[in-house]
Amino acid sequence: MVLRRLAVFGALAILPAVAQVSDTSAKAALLKAFQLQHAPMRFVVQHEDGSVESYNWSGYAVTGTSFTSAEGSWIEPNITCNSSSDTELAAFWVGLDGYNDNTVEQTGTLAGCVNGSIEHIAWYEFYPKEAIVEIPSVTVNPGDKISTSVKYSLKKFTLTITNETTGKKYTTRGTQSGTQRASAEWIAEAPCCVGSNVYPLPNFGTALFGTDNTGITGTNYAKDKSHSGAFNTFPSADVFAITMVNDPTLATEASPSAPSSDGTSFSVQWVSP
């Protein structure tokens, strides 16, 4: 049963490495594929238990009022290319907005395969203000522990990404019009677009999010007008588990685990097509 239409898809793609490639032409091709703006979340259905199916997101979202922060962490997955002659993208990110409005403020890692070559990058995006922006100073490799935060204060957003393994950190600030600050998200995503469809996912195995998996305290947490804490300590009616399904077959492509007992952590499992 469809209970309500959901709105935004913010974007991220994660790309672990089968064989980390230094070939500049391969990286250039990958970055060209990344230079796009992501669309709102592609909603399929919300079930009576509150779980959601989407064409491009998998993970968790919480809804509320006047969010001022979302913080997350994950272990960068090691990806395998399903095809040696295709472009496959996956994004892992944390953000505000994008679940039930048409803006997203987000930062995370982007990984992908281009004709069998693999690259990982860090990035941020203010959607729809601009396309994603690469962060060259924060290098990313499979197995690295990544932490991110998106915070709002004095009409500005502050986005921070840290590679906790290498110690490299990047912070940017910006404004965005039309934000509602009505949601926070921790997402694995298939970015847009090949024609009108999202890119196929590489095999990222299991993506591990949150304190119990990374040892980074205060993740995956958010704060809104009435609550502050781990994502699964928000009222149950405001917590949404999101499964990614194929368009048009509706076959599962990525699915989240149940939250950990302390409400901080979960995983997203890639599912073979």
Give me the residue spans of the domains in the chain: 24-270
What's residue 186's pLDDT? 98
Give yes or no for a contact between 41 and 104, defined as CB atoms under 8 angstroms apart.
no
pLDDT at 39: 59
Using a 10 angstrom Cβ sphere, with 0-12 exposed, 13-18 middle and 19 or more buried, the burial of residue 141 is middle
DSSP structure string for 198-243: EPPPPB--EEEESHHHH--TTTTEEE-SS-EEEGGGS-GGGEEEEE
**Model pTM greater than 0.75?**
yes
Place of tokens 């979340």: 41
Extract the residue ranges of the chain whose pLDDT is less than 70: 1-27, 29-31, 33-40
Q: What is the pLDDT of residue 117?
A: 87
| pLDDT at residue number 222 | 98
Distance CA 50, CA 62 (A): 11
3 state DSSP class of 58: strand
H or E element at residue 57: strand 57-63
- pLDDT, the chain, mean: 88
pLDDT of residue 194: 74
| CA distance readout (Å), 45 to 7, 182, 245, 248, 252 | 12, 20, 10, 13, 13
Token pair in block for residue 50 = 């509150």
* Bridge pairing between strands 239-245 and 52-54: parallel
| CATH fold for domain 24-270 | Jelly Rolls (2.60.120)
Cβ atoms < 10 Å from Cβ of 1: 6
pLDDT in tens, 156-181: 999 999 999 999 999 999 999 999 99
